[in-house]
Amino acid sequence: MGFSTLLDILGSSIIGGMLLMILWRLNDAATQNTYNYGGEVIVQQNLVEVVSLLEHDFRKIGYCKDWTKIPDPSQAIISADSTSIKFLTDLDNDGQVDSLRYYLGPTSELTVTPNPRDRMLYRVEMRLRLRVQILV
């Protein structure tokens, strides 16, 4: 072998090593982006599910399959203020009146989030046995 052949092999090894290092760095960056943005996608999907549930529940305020159990839907909201709402509805469409309450927890529950005003949103379902008589 000649001297130029050894230089060619050495140069090829150096260039190949540099390409391999670039490839490893690219793989690390792609993995890191997958973890970072994958978490954000999961959070966004969960947010969409919560919003869909809220829309579904609020759309059913005052609804009951057996309409005689909630004769006046305008009276279906039992209480509402800036941190909670409680209303009558038929959650499982079985003709029985249910009570649904949404409320915000205290700010002290979520102390590790960056936003100090973050709060938990709670949903409480209650089965009611109401007997409403309509006098005609």
Question: pLDDT tens across 78-134, in order?
Answer: 999 999 999 999 988 888 889 999 999 998 888 888 888 889 999 999 886 545 555
Say whether pLDDT at 70 is over 80. Answer: yes
What backbone torsions phi and psi does residue 18 show, to the nearest 5 degrees?
-65, -40
